Amino acid sequence: MTAVDKKQLIEDRVNAGLRGQWYPVAKSVEVKTSVPHGVVLLGEKLVLWRDGAGKIRCIEDFCPHRGAPLSYGTVHEGDISCRYHGVVVDGDGVVVRVPAMPECALEGRKALTSYQTTEAYDAVFVYVPSIEHPEAPELVLPEEFTSDAWTGFLCTAVWETNYRYALDNLADPMHGCYLHSNSFTLAYGSKQDLLKLDKTEHGFRVSRIGQVGENFDWSEIQVHPANMFCFLDIPYPAAAGPGGVFRILGFIQPVDERTCRVFFWRMRQVSGLARESFRFLYRARMEATHWAVLEQDRVILEGMPDDARKREMLYQHDLGVSRIRQLLTRAAKSQVEAELAQAQAAE
Per the CB < 8 A criterion, the answer to whether 172 and 212 are in contact is no
Distance, in Å, from the CA atom of 14 to the CA atom of 162, rounded to the nearest integer, reads 10
Query: Which alpha helices (DSSP H) does the chain contain, by range?
Result: 3-16, 163-170, 176-179, 273-281, 287-302, 319-346
Given ligand FES, Fe ion, none, residue 297, with its beta carbon under 5 to 8 Å by kind, binds Fe ion
Distance, in Å, from the CA atom of 177 to the CA atom of 183, rounded to the nearest integer, reads 9
Distance, in Å, from the CA atom of 267 to the CA atom of 246, rounded to the nearest integer, reads 6
Given ligand FES, Fe ion, none, residue 290, with its beta carbon under 5 to 8 Å by kind, binds none
Minimum CB separation from ligand FES for residue 98, in Å? 8
| Interface pick for ligand FES out of 19, 37, 50, 65 (rule CB under 6 A) | 65
Q: If binding means CB under 5 A, how many residues of this protein chain bind Fe ion?
A: 1
Pairing of strands 227-234, 218-224: antiparallel
217 or 297, CB closer to Fe ion? 297
Given Fe ion, ligand FES, none, residue 261, with its beta carbon under 5 to 8 Å by kind, binds none
Distance, in Å, from the CA atom of 333 to the CA atom of 220, rounded to the nearest integer, reads 24
Minimum CB separation from ligand FES for residue 65, in Å? 3
Edge-to-edge strands, sheet with 246-256? 150-159, 259-269, 246-256, 227-234, 218-224, 203-208, 195-200
52 or 303, CB closer to Fe ion? 303
Q: Which stretch binds ligand FES (CB under 6 A): 29-37, 64-72, 145-153, 331-339?
A: 64-72
82 or 262, CB closer to ligand FES? 82
Site map (CB under 6 A) of ligand FES, residues 269-288, x = contact: --------------------
Site map (CB under 5 A) of Fe ion, residues 287-326, x = contact: ----------x-----------------------------
Helices 319-346 and 163-170: crossing angle in degrees, nearest 10, is 140
Interface ranges with Fe ion (CB under 5 A)? 297
